[in-house]
Amino acid sequence: MADFYELLVSGVASGCLYALMALSFLLVMRPTGIVNFAVGQYAMLGGFAAVAITTTILLPWPDLPFVPGLIAVLAIMALLGATIEWVAIRPLVRRGASHLALMLSLLGVLLVLMEVGARFGGTEALPTEPPFGFRRVEFGPFAGTPQSFFTIALTLMVFAAVWFFFERTLWGRAFEAVAIDRQAAQLMGVDLRIVTVAAFASSAVVAGLVGVLISGSTGAFYQIGMPLTVQGFTALVIGGVGRVDGALIGGILLGLIEAFVMRYLPVPSALALAVPLVLLLAFLVARPTGLLANKGGHH
């Protein structure tokens, strides 16, 4: 039974990472309707940035402690997200390009970022020092690594902050208005450019956070982007596209299903990505709206 509870903790921790990836998708999709498949590469670069800033593996400096290193990585990711919006999205929007053209542009960004990551970080998994070490921690029957509990706690804090932003702040209402009707929001005085830049920057920050968390457990790796993209998008579809709470529920559910399938069914670890793909197809066919109905805005 102890094994079951330990599996539960690791499954929820993995699910929290998938939930954050789903949130990264959602932060761009909700106000703009754009599906940004480059978010997995944001996570990969966030992991390599954490390695570069908090260790001496890639750079001889700055070798910062975890908290200032995390703040520096998230600032870099915000700048990256805003830059990508400025370079790859804004010129197309000015010309009245379709959503398909915008998504194709972001697929080009995905390929560029993947190449940058491989050149900068190499092809080996590079670890950072987890902030709470490697010991085993127990809370009643639940046991796991400090990194797992830290990931769960941090994810809940991020989701609480995002929920508060969307539901209780004026800026959140502006995002909501843009999601429902861009033209009406613009007539009401909402600056669409600021909303779009903020969406891309915050999306990159959340995905970058995933990269930092992964670098402290399995290590930053240039190929983690694609699996995280699939897992995050699947979590979004499971929970219900457009819902912040849906992203969290979908991510945790996916993490638990994946953990139990890999442990108790004869599925080789090389086929781990098959689990979210099968779930994604099942939900798209049987319940495309996800577990929670969308409250409005883009689908």
Per-residue pLDDT at 130 exceeds 90: no
Answer with the residue of higher pLDDT: 297 or 207: 207
Q: What is the pLDDT of residue 186?
A: 85
Three-point CA angle 142, 146, 151, nearest 5°: 90
Other Cβ atoms closer than 10 A to 15:
27
* Mean local confidence (pLDDT), 196-213: 97
**For residue 71, is pLDDT > 90?**
yes
Asked if residue 251 lies in contact with residue 237, where contact means CB atoms within 8 angstroms, the answer is: no
Tell me what percent of the residues of the chain surpass a pLDDT of 90: 72
**What pLDDT does residue 184 have?**
87
Q: How far apart are CA 194 and CA 230, in angstroms?
A: 28
Q: Is the dihedral of CA 79, 220, 212, 241 positive or negative?
A: positive
| 235-272 pLDDT tens trace | 999 999 888 999 999 999 999 999 999 998 877 877 87
Write down the residue that tokens 């939900």 correspond to: 283
pLDDT (average), residues 199-212: 98
Domains and CATH numbers, the chain: 2-286 (1.10.3470)
Model pLDDT for residues 90-117, shown as the tens digit of each residue: 999 999 999 899 999 999 999 999 999 9
Does the predicted model carry a pTM greater than 0.85?
yes
Give me the amino acid identity at 187: L
Angle CA(150)–CA(152)–CA(154) in degrees, nearest 5? 65
Q: Pull the structure tokens for residue 80.
A: 């990256």
Omega before residue 288 within 30° of 0, cis? no
Confidence label for 294 from pLDDT (cuts 50, 70 and 90):
low
Residues 6+ apart with CB under 8 A from 141: 1, 2, 5
**DSSP state letters, the chain:** -HHHHHHHHHHHHHHHHHHHHHHHHHHHHHHH----TTHHHHHHHHHHHHHHHHSSSS-SS----HHHHHHHHHHHHHHHHHHHIIIIIHHHHHTT--HHHHHHHHHHHHHHHHHHHHHHH-SS-B----TT-S--EEETTEEE-HHHHHHHHHHHHHHHHHHHHHHHSHHHHHHHHHHH-HHHHHHTT--HHHHHHHHHHHHHHHHHHHHHHHHTTT-B-TT-HHHHHHHHHHHHHHH-TT-HHHHHHHHHHHHHHHHHHHHHS---GGGTTHHHHHHHHHHHHH-TT-SS---SS--
107's CB contacts (< 8 A; 6+ apart) are 37, 38
Of residues 211 and 61, more confidently modeled: 211
Read off the tokens for 187.
């007539």
Say yes or no to pLDDT of 23 above 50.
yes
pLDDT band of residue 3 (cuts 50, 70, 90) is confident
- pLDDT tier at 190, thresholds 50, 70, 90: confident
What pLDDT sits at residue 296?
A: 47
The answer to whether residue 200 scores a pLDDT higher than 70 is yes
